[in-house]
Amino acid sequence: RQEQWEEVPQLGESRFGSLWPLPQNVVISPVAFMLRSSSFQIVHSAESSAGPGCSILQSAFRRYFEYMFGYMKNQGGNTKKGQDSEVTELQVWITSADSECDAYPSVTSDESYELTVDQPTAVLKAAKVWGALRGLETFSQLVYEDQYGAKKINKTDVQDFPRFAHRGLLLDSSRHFLPVKVILANLEAMAMNKYNVFHWHIVDDNSFPYESTVFPDLSRKGAYHPYTHIYTPTDVKMVIEFARMRGIRVISEFDTPGHTQSWGKGQMDLLTSCYSGENPTGSFGPVNPILNSTYDFMAKFFKEVSLVFPDTYIHLGGDEVDFTCWKSNPDIQAFMQEHGFDKDFKKLESYYIQKLLDIVGSTKKGYMIWQEVFDNGVKLKPDTVVEVWMGSNYQEELQNVTAAGFSTILSAPWYLDYISYGQDWQRYYKVEPLAFKGTDAQKKLVIGGEACLWGEYVDATNLTPRLWPRASAVAERLWSNQNVTDVGDAYNRLTQHRCRMVARGIPAEPLFVGYCDQEYKGL
């Protein structure tokens, strides 16, 4: 039954316990210390540039205390004071003058940290709050229960930083609406896996759930339902702040000129009218690139988006533009002749994208685009980030994009909406993003990658288990050292990490036959 699928490794104990993703440098000694919920606390060290006024850390301290002790009914075992060495506090020390407590994370955020676990005090040192968040997750992953149910942590040294700066997850809230609750649960899971970008593919052909204050008809007429299936400005703010508190950027994607059927319902004349001979068919194609009104709309709309989403980047899509409707439209044919485009519709697409990029550039945002925009020769700003998604030959595409001097992120091998029987996590785990021909300078331009879960077959009922722990495999590939490739060791750690996610309330699906001490308790 198993022949054509990935081998299931032998399950055993990893010398790294249940750490995931594996830190860059970690030494775990056999010396174990007690941890007691009654005496243990997480505190700001006296030297830290952050203090009790830093809400991002204060709420993280509470969150991680609960992760470590919360689901215990009682302090099991016979644990009288003074019987064992004990860790009574974790001191968090932000070393740089600006802790970035009130900032938003960015592609240049420093996520490095050092962790020393000793008794009676463990110390977590980080230049910025972002590194402290990652270190708190690592500390919580070092805590385990002995056979009597008492909490233990071993004497440990960790120096850690991410291999790639952009470690993203794409969720699609257009093909199916995703309730805010589901998005927040997945941001929580992302933090457990040290992801730092939520790529929110918020609208598409099928529905327009983003409620625009400038163009309210877009969601009023383009959402599946104008009240129940929309993200209000308050919802969007909540998602962005929940993500910020976990060191996660929210990059919104508003894909044009294709993938825009839902936009046309609430915005007259935005889409191209399709023709059959001399008569309009009543159906519509991509955004109409020849009208001034199109660009007036885009300027107002993207000005709003640039104020709603604080991240320095907006994803502008630009993929899969179907030229059939443009070809059929007599006004567009005339415009093409006038501009000397002849019959090359890629030139028309480039004309549109060029104008859109200028509009978005004027809002002082950087932009990300899907690879077709680059492939079609559109003139791009030097700080454009190109996302490589086409699976057939992504190594060659990485080579071309980086040779042209652009930063790039890879998602082609990590389309998690493709599902199969067996341990497909291994396939995602075995990808090496830099395995393409290119100079060291080119390889430095690969700033990271993304796991994508497109929404044709997922909604609130099945999204989270389909995503985790499969997305965890991608998380370790993007965080850990390039030489962390032992699938057997990964399987041992990932099995435990998956059980930890389940204990924390994330319904992550099993990797194979077995059980968790804390089984899923339902929503």
**Which are the catalytic amino acids?**
320
Distance of CA 464 to the CA centre of its chain: 14
Plot region of 448 (φ>0 → left; ψ -120 to 50 → alpha; else → beta): left
Residue 476 in contact with residue 484, Cβ under 8 Å? yes
492 by DSSP, 3-state: which? helix
Q: What distance lies between CA 112 and its chain's CA centroid?
A: 18
Which residues on adjacent β-strands are paired with residue 369?
Answer: 386
The token duo for 181 is 């609750």
Q: Which residue has the tokens 């179907």?
A: 322
Helix 233-244 × helix 180-192 angle, to 10°: 10
**Amino acid in the structure at residue 183:** I
CB atoms within 10 A of CB 466: 17
Contact 432, 152 (CB under 8 A): no
Torsion of CA 250, 254, 255, 261, to 10 degrees: 140
Cα angle 489, 492, 497 (rounded to 5 degrees) comes to 120
Contact 136, 124 (CB under 8 A): yes
Write the CB contacts of 144 (distance below 8 Å, at least 6 apart in sequence): 17, 18, 151, 152, 153
Strand partners, 137: none
Beta carbons within 8 Å of 93's beta carbon, 6+ residues apart:
44, 45, 47, 48, 123, 124, 125, 126
Positive or negative, the CA dihedral 494, 499, 502, 503 is negative
Helix (H, G, I), strand (E, B) or coil at 100: coil
Record the tokens describing residue 304, joined without a space. 């709003």
Side-chain half-sphere CA neighbours of 50 within 13 A: 30
Count of CA atoms in the C-beta half-sphere (13 A) of 414: 31
Cα separation, 183 vs 467, in Å, equals: 12
- Residues 423, 384 contacting (CB under 8 angstroms): no
* Rounded-to-integer distance, Cα 454 and Cα 474, Å: 16
Structure tokens at 417: 């909406």
DSSP state of 19: -
User: Hey, CA dihedral for 139, 141, 142, 143, is it positive or negative?
Assistant: positive
Q: Residue 6: count other Cβ atoms within 10 Å of its Cβ.
A: 16
